[in-house]
Chain A
Amino acid sequence: MPPAETIAVAMSGGVDSSTVAAMLRAEGRTVIGLTMQLWNQRRLAGHEGMPESVQGRCCSIDDVYDARRVAETLGVPYYVVNHEERFERDVVRPFVEEYLAGRTPIPCSLCNNHLKFDQLLIVAQQIGADKIATGHYAQVAFDEERNRWLLKRPADKSKDQTYFLFGLTQEQLSRTLFPLGSMTKPEVRELARKHNLVIAEKPDSQEICFVPGGDYKRFLEAYLTEQGNAPTEVGGEMVTTDGKVIGEHAGVHNFTVGQRKGLGVATGSPLYVIQIKNDTRQVVVGKDEELYSRTLRAHRVNLISTAELREPMRVTVKIRHKHQPAPATIEPAGPEEVHVTFDEPQRALTPGQAAVFYDGDIVVGGGWIENSE
């Protein structure tokens, strides 16, 4: 028998990745537990508007403690690796810059592309692991016919995380395991209990790991203040779709397309953010029906199920994590650019979010939403 593969498990201290480690260990694989230290939670603590201390968040000492306890229970070697610099450069700064440019970013995708499946994979290989495994709900499989690694939606559709994984390359997918892809969350918890993992009842994390309490506006302000460039002159006009100025706003980063609350203007009918104009710093508001559009352009596209897109293809497209994939046609529109035409107009196509293309459960690929047309 050939020696069992060595798998590095990306352990966050949560129930999903801990269960992955337990499953692989039970299968007799050689497992190494790794936790990425990505952000110092104490760094912005105490800045104006930020909590003094934050507990139970990603990369907190408590999470590392939990992951370490799990690794110890399972008898697997465990290490913490520090990638704070890369995380700040590739995730936190782009996150801040996107908001300041009037877009709505997805840091989790950036983290997957630049940290988990890049830096961590390199470290894993350097320390002798053949592959990495994570607690994502997704499936990966090699397709002989296409001669490609495929990314697929998981059995538990309510937990589907493929939206955040569209950026994975063939090389990355070939070295990745998603052991939870065929399981439901309750099954995962049950397995964690069976393995006596201390974190079996730990609540799921929901928010962005480096933004305590989920208040991204306070985070932006605290971060920019710390960097010595607190936003000045980011305010601008609030205009209606027919160009009428109806008020002022304090900064484009306070808005996201489709937002209704906190606009600071009162009119008879409900108003929504329709568009954020980065060049003029205008926030365009209008009626709900004005939020719908049928087309979008996705850029920096990564294709997974096919090497290239030569002709129009029928797919379903997801435009945000909690969006029901909608039928659409995609067609090439330049290098790494794809034009998407939905069968039915979709509400709030948001620049900065991703458009991910599906063929049934198979992820065709995805790109970043540039603008609705």
Chain B
Amino acid sequence: MQRRVYLDNNATTPVLPEVLEAMWPYFGERFGNASSIHHHGQETRAAVERARESVASMLGCRASEIVFTSGGTEADNLAIFGLACSGRANAGDHVITSTIEHHAVLKACKHLVAQRAEVTYIPVDGRGLVDPADVKRAIRPNTKLITIMLANNETGVLQSVAEIGKIAAEADIYFHTDAVQAAGKIAIHVNKIGCNLLTISGHKIHGPQGVGALYVRKGTQLEPMLYGGSHERSRRAGTENVAGIVGLGKAAELAQAGFEHGDNQEMAIARDRLERELLNIEATGLNGADLNGELTPRVPNTTNIYFDGIEGEALVIALDLKGLAVSTGAACSSGAIEPSHVLTAMGLRHDRAKASIRFSLGKQNTPEDVDFALGLIPETVAHLRDLSPVWPNKVLSG
């Protein structure tokens, strides 16, 4: 069997054994509909509410402020459409977001524009940072929502959300942050951020795919997108995905316990070693640092590096064939790779954006996994450069 090492944990993470174990009963003997009156329903209702408490505890909010969804995309969409075009006057409403958001936010905003709302996209600097002062300047009398992500999925760079939260509060505007890539990697406290809405996803924190949650601060007016039963306090109709919610709850619990055990520090050590060694390869550089190489605050698991003279796409394939899973940009519907809108927004040269690779670690990764990656990448990069029509300094490989 070929050894396989997975360093693409920002795409998805493996479900931890404890999470799977917690979910099992809800695929079998505990099958009740959580809305039912009888024993079976009570059993699953209790499980859903325990999970809600675990998620609330991870985010520092009340359980009643958590709405379970089918994932991060639905939570982002619910935040944006639930607020900005909730059947009230949406034509003429104004929304502020950034150029480096996930497509779940960007495409939702694009749809708002189609519905005659106005959207301002705040640019980022070379480090991938939104300047809160730009957000403040963009505010108009008709601004209904500010949505700026917490951690970027491609670079791991953390935005100054607390400052933006303060600006939003002062202007009395709702603030949503997509925290899908931050949850489980750094401690999150909704009050410190000062957001009204915050998105997380199960499968990015070693929980299952197909479940996520939206934190909705008490008193926030939110129209549902799905109509039906009165599930999730009438904010999200549909019978609960009980097993998924239980898995998300368990994953949240483990993430929180992990912070207490210093899991994230260990991860940062492994990430930093990988990054340091890779940057020793000639003509490489870090995406998300300033010009002097000064690091921007980042989540501890992600690094994004360019290897001049290669096509990132070819490197990803070559490494996959050797057993190492990494990624570049976001896969489009065909599976081909589109140039990253995040790196482009950071002002990266087009060829450099296409020569960039994202490495993202998870709880399951070991120092040996980093060794494996470091054993493969330098020779593979050299091979690709040897065959590249645009790489001038070819090294004659023996």
Contacts from A to B (Cβ < 8 Å): 32, 35, 37, 59, 61, 64, 68, 77, 79-82, 122-123, 125-128
Contact = CB atoms under 8 A, between A and B. Distances in A.
A125 B384 CA distance: 8
Interface string B179-220: 000000000000000000000000000000000000000000
B314 A126 contact: yes
Contacts of B387: 122, 125-126
16 contacts: A35-B334, A37-B334, A59-B334, A61-B333, A64-B334, A77-B321, A79-B317, A80-B335, A81-B313, A82-B313, A122-B387, A122-B388, A123-B314, A126-B311, A127-B321, A128-B321
B2 to A, nearest CB: 11
Contacts of B337: 82
A64 B314 contact: no
Nearest to B389: A122
What is the interface of chain A mostly: helix, strand, loop, or mixed?
Answer: mixed
B336 A82 contact: yes
A64 B331 CA distance: 13
A59 B335 CA distance: 12
Nearest to B315: A126
A37 B313 CA distance: 12
Contacts of B384: 126
Nearest to B319: A127
Contacts of A128: 318, 321
B395 to A, nearest CB: 15
Contacts of B314: 81, 123, 126-127
A77 to B, nearest CB: 6
Question: 10 closest A-B pairs (Cβ-Cβ)?
Answer: A37-B336, A82-B336, A80-B335, A80-B336, A64-B334, A127-B318, A126-B314, A127-B317, A126-B384, A79-B317
A108 B383 CA distance: 30
Contacts, number: 49
A80 B321 contact: no
B320 interface: yes
A126 B383 contact: yes
B313 to A, nearest CB: 6
Interface centre among B311, B321, B334, B389 (most CB of A within 10 A): B334
A79 B313 CA distance: 10
Given A80-B334, A122-B387, 5 more contacts: A32-B321, A79-B317, A80-B336, A82-B313, A126-B318
B338 interface: yes
Interface centre among A59, A80, A125 (most CB of B within 10 A): A80
B334 A61 contact: yes
Interface residues of B, number: 19
Nearest to B333: A61
A122 B313 CA distance: 12
Interface centre among A32, A64, A79 (most CB of B within 10 A): A79
A61 B336 CA distance: 11
B157 to A, nearest CB: 25
Contacts of A81: 313-314, 317, 336
Contacts of A61: 333-334
Contacts of A82: 313, 332, 336-338
Contact of A79 (B311, B332, B335): B335
Nearest to A68: B335
Contacts of B333: 61
Contacts of A127: 314, 317-318, 321
A123 B336 CA distance: 14
Contacts of B336: 37, 80-82
A123 B311 contact: yes
Interface in B217-235: none
Contacts of B388: 122, 126
A77 B317 CA distance: 10
Contacts of B313: 81-82, 123
A257 B336 CA distance: 39
A81 B384 CA distance: 15
A64 B337 CA distance: 13
Contacts of B383: 126
Contacts of A35: 334
A82 B331 CA distance: 10
A281 to B, nearest CB: 36
Interface in B360-398: 383-384, 387-389
A251 B151 CA distance: 53
A68 B383 CA distance: 27
Contacts of A122: 387-389
A31 to B, nearest CB: 12
Contacts of B334: 35, 37, 59, 61, 64, 80
B335 A77 contact: no
B176 to A, nearest CB: 29
A81 B336 CA distance: 5
Interface centre among B313, B337, B383, B388 (most CB of A within 10 A): B313
Contacts of B338: 82
A79 B328 CA distance: 14
A37 B335 CA distance: 9
Contacts of B311: 123, 126
Interface string B298-339: 000000000000010110011011000000000011111110
Contacts of A32: 321
A315 B321 CA distance: 46
Contacts of A125: 387
Nearest to B337: A82
Nearest to A79: B317
A116 to B, nearest CB: 16
Nearest to A37: B336
Contacts of B335: 64, 68, 79-80
A123 B388 CA distance: 9
Nearest to A84: B336
Interface centre among A81, A126, A128 (most CB of B within 10 A): A126
A29 to B, nearest CB: 15
Nearest to B350: A85
Interface centre among B314, B317, B318, B320 (most CB of A within 10 A): B317
Contacts of B389: 122
Contacts of B317: 79, 81, 123, 127
Nearest to B322: A128
Interface string B276-314: 000000000000000000000000000000000001011
Contacts of B332: 37, 82
Contacts of A64: 334-335
B231 to A, nearest CB: 33
A32 B320 CA distance: 12
A144 to B, nearest CB: 28
A126 B387 CA distance: 6
A205 B249 CA distance: 51
